[in-house]
């Protein structure tokens, strides 16, 4: 009886470890950045929570799309990442074949889920995939890669709105614009740690083009635009004082992030990057929900 039990524990541990490697490969923890904005858009579109079916389908669509996009980024940058000290271990997490399977299977699942949501989401699903995949190729021909990544992330609040309403509207476009500039701002800060490598390899990078000091100033401007977009989103969506008061917390988190970035300490930047941006997105969705249900 001991041998099967020992074998069973070993098998479970191996599977669990492999799942952890896959989640690390696609940086699953960073889902916390985009998902709350999609959820906020969904809540405003439904003026509350839509059906459980729609909520689950939106969640699945987000997870599948992001998994496919991140896996494609890893596969597309496979050789580049091997040479970058910060990313040199990524290719050791899974094989390249597994990496491709993490692109194809979730992408197909995303299309199926989009079909289950409504005809418009299904029709636009290839467009959404094209946008989120295209970012991974942009560093080869432009320095403005952050804007393409921002556009990829901006798809989420629009998609969530379409899942609920089945038609375009102004509020999710305003939110999408804010999300895009939010991403540009925080990815400029994050990209500082790759400055030397990108410059040496001639890779497209706004940080290389504008320098570290210039990039930090640009990041501040991007987050200023984000804040304006969040205010405008509240106005055009009919949100009230609870939502707008909560934006003070968002502003505080952004200030904290930029003060940490100004120290040019990589460990501090990484900590501020995750904490402040996770805080911004979570405060946003909680503020939207609180205001709608108040």
Q: Identify whether 127 is part of a domain.
A: yes
Band (149; pLDDT cuts 50, 70, 90): very high
The reported pLDDT for the residue numbered 6 is 56
Q: In CATH, what number is assigned to the domain containing residue 54?
A: 1.10.357.140
Rounded to whole angstroms, the Cα distance separating 70 from 129 reads 12
pTM of the model: 0.90
Count of domains for the chain: 1
Residue 264 lies in a domain: yes
Structure tokens at 98: 């597994």
Average pLDDT over residues 254-265: 87
Determine the average pLDDT of the residues in 139-147. 89
pLDDT tops 80 at residue 47: yes
Reply yes or no on whether the pLDDT at 1 is more than 70.
no
Cα-only R_g, the chain: 20
> What SS3 class is residue 263?
coil
How far from 90 is each of 75, 103, 286, CA to CA, in Å? 10, 16, 34
Please tell me the least confidently modeled range out of 65-79, 170-184, 209-223, 228-242.
Answer: 65-79
pLDDT at 13: 63
Are 220 and 272 in contact, with CB atoms under 8 Å apart? no
Q: Which residue has the higher pLDDT, 10 or 164?
A: 164
List the Cα angle 171/179/259 in 5-degree steps: 135
Mean pLDDT of the region 186-207? 83
Q: What is the average per-residue pLDDT within 96-112?
A: 94
215 domain residue, yes or no: yes
20 part of a folded domain: no
Band of residue 2 on the pLDDT scale cut at 50, 70, 90: very low
What are the respective helix, strand and coil percentages of the chain, to the nearest 5? 85, 0, 15
Cβ atoms of 90 and 79 within 8 Å: the answer is no
Residue 5 domain flag: no
User: Is position 131 within any domain?
Assistant: yes
pLDDT for 195 equals 83
Q: How many CA atoms lie within 13 A of 141 on its CB side?
A: 6
Distance (Å, rounded) from C-alpha 103 to C-alpha 94?
Answer: 13
- pLDDT of 114 above 50: yes
Residue 156 counted as domain residue: yes
Distance between CA atoms of residues 120 and 128, nearest Å: 12
For residue 41, the model assigns a pLDDT of 98
Q: What is the mean pLDDT of the chain?
A: 89
CA distances from 152 to 105, 156, 159 (A): 19, 8, 11
pLDDT tier, 198 (very low <50, low <70, confident <90, very high otherwise): confident
Residue 52 clears pLDDT 80, i.e. is over it: yes
Determine the structural domain holding residue 214 and report its residue range: 31-293
* Within-domain flag for 60: yes
**Whole-number pLDDT of residue 178:** 98
* Nearest CA among 235, 241, 291, 294 for reference residue 40: 291
What is the C-alpha separation between 9 and 3, in angstroms, rounded?
A: 10
């Amino acid at each position: 009886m001991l041998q099967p039990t020992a074998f069973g524990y070993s098998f479970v541990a191996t599977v669990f470890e492999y799942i952890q490697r896959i989640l690390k490969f696609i940086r699953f923890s960073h889902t916390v950045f985009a998902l709350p904005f999609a959820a906020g858009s969904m809540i405003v579109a439904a003026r509350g929570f839509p059906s459980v079916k729609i909520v689950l389908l939106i969640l699945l669509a987000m997870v599948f799309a992001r998994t496919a996009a991140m896996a494609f980024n890893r596969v597309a940058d496979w050789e580049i990442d091997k040479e970058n000290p910060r990313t040199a271990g990524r290719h050791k997490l899974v094989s390249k074949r597994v990496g491709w399977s993490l692109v194809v299977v979730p992408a197909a699942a995303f299309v199926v889920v989009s079909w289950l949501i409504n005809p418009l989401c299904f029709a636009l699903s290839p467009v959404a995939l094209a946008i989120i995949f295209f970012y991974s190729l942009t560093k080869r021909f432009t320095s403005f890669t952050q804007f393409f990544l921002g556009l990829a992330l901006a798809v989420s609040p629009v998609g969530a709105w379409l899942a609920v309403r089945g038609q375009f509207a102004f509020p999710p476009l305003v939110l999408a614009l804010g999300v895009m500039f939010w991403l540009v701002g925080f990815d400029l800060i994050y990209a500082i740690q790759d400055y030397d490598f990108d410059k040496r390899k001639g890779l497209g990078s706004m940080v290389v083009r504008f320098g570290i000091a210039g990039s930090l100033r640009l990041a501040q401007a991007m987050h200023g635009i984000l804040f304006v977009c969040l205010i405008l989103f509240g106005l055009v969506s009919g949100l009230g004082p609870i939502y707008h008061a909560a934006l003070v917390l968002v502003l505080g988190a952004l200030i904290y992030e930029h003060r940490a970035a100004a120290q040019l300490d990589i460990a501090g930047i990484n900590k501020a990057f995750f904490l402040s941006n996770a805080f911004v997105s979570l405060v946003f969705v909680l503020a939207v929900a609180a205001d709608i249900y108040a």
